Structure 1
């Protein structure tokens, strides 16, 4: 019972630390955020912070990795159940449901590589699907096509997130799907 209570306190402390960093990053990039800033915002001492994270960059990396892993699981479930047809929608729905984190991480103060990492989760599945549909086409063409569609999708999602996510996830996903529906072998 004591272990469970301690574990609960650790989870709470980490949540407060993470939320404090995200709040600070609404105003400035990680390079301008110090551990002292985070500790003040979280109302904790530096020893508490350092018992969980080495620095503010490790903390940010931890937040990004959690988001990435959550979305990777969403992609895995979607690909296993329905193929890629609902993938854009499921990703957009997840982003909207986690808008507080995504608005910060996908903003100019966040890491531009994170959204790219997320959209490349389905890379192998899509390449395999395209190869099965057009066996005579070169692998490089498929990779180039995926890069083209992924970067276009990244731009649309960033614009959507940074403009306040006024459109529904379904509308954004439908746009992405329509814009990327051409296949590289036509």
Structure 2
């Protein structure tokens, strides 16, 4: 009986997540109602409230699940040296290409800033953690430079997804890696 309840619970949560993602393609999270989510999922409100207290909690669970999957995927690789950052960046782009539908929704203006901030943290952890700057740059300046690169990288990813992934993950990794290491002076 317990496994039957677990499957039912998993199914309900899956349907709620799919319904919210569908609605987020058209409306912002702040303009969505529980009623709309329930109608799309074809469940009643009491069932919804048995799982989530509001639409933001449901969105957060989707974001957390995506982030856990991303971290688990990138964590399988042991790219710890700066030279290997290109390979890690390509793995990141491959993951995003595979999950492009949900990724576009989570990076859209229809969600909240949590996912973007968390994505920036992950990008820093896996891509920029071993990036070495000139030793003459103080820690505070380094943090500003790092934030600039990470936020720029997130927006490059967002643009790539919105443009239908017009370049391969390898090409995108190369572009990002080249820009990070050589800046605008290296662009021809």
Give the aligned partner of residue 158 of structure 2. Answer: 158
Q: Which deviates the most, 67-76 or 81-90? A: 81-90
- Within 1, Cα distance between the matches of 2:126 and 2:21? 32
Count of residue pairs the alignment pairs up: 181
Is contact 2:29-2:110 (8 Å) kept? Answer: yes
Q: Tell me the C-alpha RMSD between the 2 structures.
A: 2.4
For 1:37, the equivalent position in structure 2 comes to 36
Deviation of 1:179 after TM superposition, in Å, equals: 1.0
Return closer, same or farther for 1:126/1:18 CA change in 2, 3 Å cut-off.
closer
Length-normalised TM-score, structure 1: 0.84
1:181 alignment partner, SS class: helix
- Matching of residue 123 in structure 1 with residue 131 in structure 2: no
Shift of 1:101: 1.0
Gaps of 5+ in 1: none
Aligned to 2:186: none
Secondary structure at 2:10's aligned position in 1? Answer: helix
Contact kept in structure 1, 2:149 and 2:180, CA below 8 Å = yes
Q: CA deviation at 1:128?
A: 5.7
* Unaligned 5+ runs, structure 2: 184-188
Match of 2:142 in 1: 142
- Shift of residue 81 of structure 1? 6.5
Q: Note the alpha carbon deviations across 1:92-137, whole angstroms, 9 max, x for none.
A: 1111111221121112212344234213225357666345x75564
> Is the CA contact (8 Å cut-off) linking 2:29 and 2:111 kept in structure 1?
yes
Runs of 4+ in 1 over 4 A off after TM superposition: 79-83, 124-128, 133-137
State the secondary structure of the residue aligned to 1:120.
helix
